[in-house]
Amino acid sequence: MNDIDQRHLELRQLRYFITVAEELHFGKAATRLHMTQPPLSQAIQAFESDLGTPLFVRSTRQISLTAAGKALLPEARKLLQQAHSLRQLVQRAAAGNQGHLSLAFVSIADYSILPPTLRTFRQTHADVSIELREATTDVQLEALEKGEIDAGFMIPPMPEKFQHLLDYQKILTEPLILAAPEHLFSLGQAVSIEQCKDQALILFPRKIAPALHDAILGFFHEAGLTPDIGQEAIQMQTIVGLVSAGMGIALVPQSVSNLQRPGVSYHAFNDKTPVVEIGFAWRKDNPSAVLTSFLQLLNQNLC
């Protein structure tokens, strides 16, 4: 008999023992177990032989537990419960309902897609532990290459060197808006890019977000303007904080208007405005069932 069969037999013996101990009657126990009495009696005798001690005191009228049987009963119940819990744990993990998921995200995602997605996922996957780290796209790509994270919300494009390794899915696009010191324009006023020409521009470094950097500068260049780049920052909250300090203006994705700072007002553009894309990337060879469940949720939200 192989090891797996032995484990099955041991659990079955425990279940037989517990039932007999609860009924204190072989006939009633056999009925509960949907079997006949002789095989049950033989199984209990074999179990006692394996343990090297009787578990029941038998008489013509009744049976009772020996001291060894009384000691075994609560432990046998624990073992069966643990075996049942182990099976549930494995099944939940295989279905992506239990386990671990490590996600990285650019700061823009924190004001748009990330909070509602995590909230919905937690409602249906409460036993999944989620590790979050804020990181720029270049840092995320390196972490994915090393297998340090499962997936990330990032700003494309994805460099060619990663395309054989990673899958990518567009999640959303949104227009850029103006974040400006509140004294520059009336609250709620739409503005043109021309009105921004004399203001210092706070911008993402190109090496961190080349697509966003180029879209912003391209917007100015199409209007025949060359912006005065006053500051560079890699975190959206830092950029908005610099605007709040009166250090300049910034072009930010529309969802960043959810980030309220004293002294900052947000304005739509009258002009045809560039858009910024946020996507989701993960390793093609990642077998995680939890990641598969998360991807399914993303796809449902995109439908």
Q: How much of the chain, in percent, has pLDDT values that exceed 70?
A: 92
Same domain, 156 and 19: no
Vertex 88 angle, CA 84 and 91, to 5°: 140
List the beta bridge partners of residue 57. 64
- Compute the average pLDDT of residues 9-31: 87
Same domain, 163 and 255: no
DSSP string for 18-48: HHHHHHS-HHHHHHHTTS-HHHHHHHHHHHH
Last residue of a domain, one of 72, 94, 116: 94
Three-class SS state of 253: strand
Q: State the average pLDDT for the chain.
A: 89
Same domain, 107 and 179: no
pLDDT tens for each residue of 208-235: 889 899 999 999 999 999 999 999 998 8
Same domain, 104 and 87: no
Same domain, 72 and 113: no
Same domain, 89 and 16: yes
Same domain, 163 and 293: yes
Q: Residue 143: which CATH number?
A: 3.40.190.10
30-44, 92-106, 114-128: least confident range: 92-106
Q: How many CA atoms lie within 13 A of 95 on its CB side?
A: 10
- Compute the average pLDDT of residues 150-173: 94
Give the count of domains, the chain.
3
Q: Residue 18: which CATH number?
A: 1.10.10.10
- Compute the average pLDDT of residues 111-131: 91
What pLDDT, on a 0 to 100 scale, did the predictor assign at position 8?
Answer: 43
Same domain, 135 and 256: no
> pLDDT-based confidence at 196, cuts 50/70/90?
very high
Q: How many CA atoms lie within 13 A of 249 on its CB side?
A: 24
How far does CA 154 lie from the centroid of its chain? 15
Please name which of 290, 47, 279, 301 lies closest in space to residue 166, comparing C-alpha atoms. 279
DSSP 8-state assignment for residue 157: P
* Domain limits for position 73: 3-94
Round to whole Å and give the CA distance between 156 and 49: 68
pLDDT tens for each residue of 284-303: 999 888 999 899 888 887 75
Residue 135 predicted with pLDDT over 50: yes
H or E segment and range at residue 154? strand 151-154
> pLDDT-based confidence at 125, cuts 50/70/90?
confident
Same domain, 56 and 124: no
What pLDDT, on a 0 to 100 scale, did the predictor assign at position 119?
Answer: 93
Letter string b/e over residues 30-44, b meaning 16 or more CB atoms within 10 A of that residue's CB: beebeeeeeebbebb
Q: To which residue do tokens 């009336």 refer?
A: 186
Rounded (10°) CA dihedral 280, 286, 287, 292: 0
Same domain, 285 and 269: no
Same domain, 198 and 181: yes
What pLDDT, on a 0 to 100 scale, did the predictor assign at position 265?
Answer: 96
DSSP 8-state assignment for residue 205: -
pTM summary value: 0.68
Last residue of a domain, one of 52, 75, 94: 94
Same domain, 296 and 160: yes
